[in-house]
Structure 1
Amino acid sequence: MSRILLVEDEELNRTLVRAVLARAEVAAVRDAEVLDATSLAAARERLGQEDVDLILLDMNLPDGNGLTLARELATQGMPAGRSKPVVVAVTASVLPQDRAAAIEAGCDGFLDKPYAAADLVETVARHLS
């Protein structure tokens, strides 16, 4: 079973993502375990304790920009024995330079807010396969 770390400070957004993933037609998405983190600090703590396959990373968090975490994972890697999870930036900033900054920071994908449920499922399915 895959594990997804949802780094999102808004409770409503976390609830919606969980509901969409739980109802997905793609079994790998529907059956994935979703872990929550509401800040960069919480995400770092979770990553230090848990093996994660995919991170859905909000860019605007209470303690900083999600790209900070993406850069850390790209440059510092994971603790011994763990592989780097796939990182998907999730943001309302949809300008070409925002996408470029996310990829440059080490993100593997980009999901624009607001997004359709089908786009979320497709993105997660593609990166979990």
Structure 2
Amino acid sequence: MTAENPRILLVEDEELNRTLVKAVLSRAQIAAVRGAEVLDASTLAGARAQLDAEDIDLILLDMNLPDGNGLTLAGELAAGRIGGGRPRPTVVAVTASVLPQDREAALAAGCDGFLDKPYAAADLVATVADHLARRAGAAS
């Protein structure tokens, strides 16, 4: 990852949510977040295709998708079954399921972080910035 142009894959089935997340990130005060290229997928199948074709630094992963649970994708990434042999992206679970066991399941499946819905724009930006900074620090 280069700090100037991280790539984020937004996996979210609701078009309005994808549009809003992209708008928030593109207006962030933090340059690394604002400058990120945001790709999107509305299904697990679409996310798998993007991950096999693109270098991705961070995934914002909705848990409830039309073709399955986002934890399936997190597990596949953790096991190295998708991604074309590229470094595993950081995965942040984004969900309205906020029970402690939901958070534990996400982390056990290979997610690196968890963002509760609904969230404030500032929380989204802070989460993305934090995970991109950790990734950049680990790469140096």
Shorter-normalised TM-score: what interval? over 0.9
Question: What stretches of structure 2 of length at least 5 have no aligned partner?
Answer: 134-140
Matched, 1:42 2:21: no
Matched, 1:79 2:74: no
Aligned to 2:95: 91
Matched, 1:117 2:121: yes
Question: What stretches of structure 1 of length at least 5 have no aligned partner?
Answer: none
3-state SS in 1 of match to 2:56: coil
Supply the AA of the counterpart residue of 1:22: S
Matches within 5 A, 1:1-129: 1-76=5-80, 78-80=83-85, 82-129=86-133
Aligned to 2:136: none
User: Aligned-pair distance for 1:75?
Assistant: 1.1
Query: How far, CA to CA, are the matches of 1:116 and 1:106 in structure 2?
Result: 24
Deviation above 3 Å: which 4+ runs of structure 1?
none
- In the TM superposition, what whole-angstrom CA distance separates every residue of 1:66-90 from its partner, at most 9, and x where no partner exists? 000000000125323x100000000
3-state SS in 1 of match to 2:79: helix
Query: How far, CA to CA, are the matches of 1:125 and 1:96 in structure 2?
Result: 24
Supply the AA of the counterpart residue of 1:16: L
Supply the AA of the counterpart residue of 1:4: I
3-state SS in 2 of match to 1:93: coil
Alignment RMSD (CA, Å):
0.7
TM-score (ref. length: structure 2): 0.90
